[in-house]
Amino acid sequence: MTTRQKNIFYNSLFLAGCGGILLFLLFAPRETTKSLPHDQNHERFMSMNKKEAEKFCETCHNPKGQAPLPEMHPPKYRCLFCHKRK
């Protein structure tokens, strides 16, 4: 290959790579973790400081409470990092 052909070849390769990454990001799976519900139990946490709010979660979400976490629940440190408020 001539230098010019090589340049075209490597530039195309680079562009294809960028395109691939772009497509991957565009079609990335949507976030599926449930967000904090808007109801009587949770509305007051919407405007509260996150760390403050998280102190209350486990008064209801504990194994003996009214809404125990599912058995397969991931490590529960910092609830609101995963269960977004929106």
31 binds ligand HEC (CB under 6 A): no
Give the number of other CB atoms < 10 A from CB of residue 36.
Answer: 18
Q: Decide: 10 and 2 in contact? Cβ < 8 Å.
A: no
Question: If binding is defined by CB under 6 A, does position 43 make contact with ligand HEC?
Answer: no
37 is a site residue for ligand HEC (CB under 6 A):
yes
Nearest to 22 by CA among 14, 11, 31: 14
Element (H, E) at 21: helix 3-26
Nearer Cβ to ligand HEC (8/60): 60
- For ligand HEC, the closer CB: 18 or 63: 63
**Cα–Cα distance measured from residue 76 to residue 58, given in angstroms and rounded to the nearest whole number:** 10
Residue closer to ligand HEC, measured from CB, 6 or 38: 38
Residues that bind ligand HEC (CB under 6 A): 33-34, 36-37, 39, 41-42, 45, 53-54, 56-61, 66-67, 69-70, 73-83
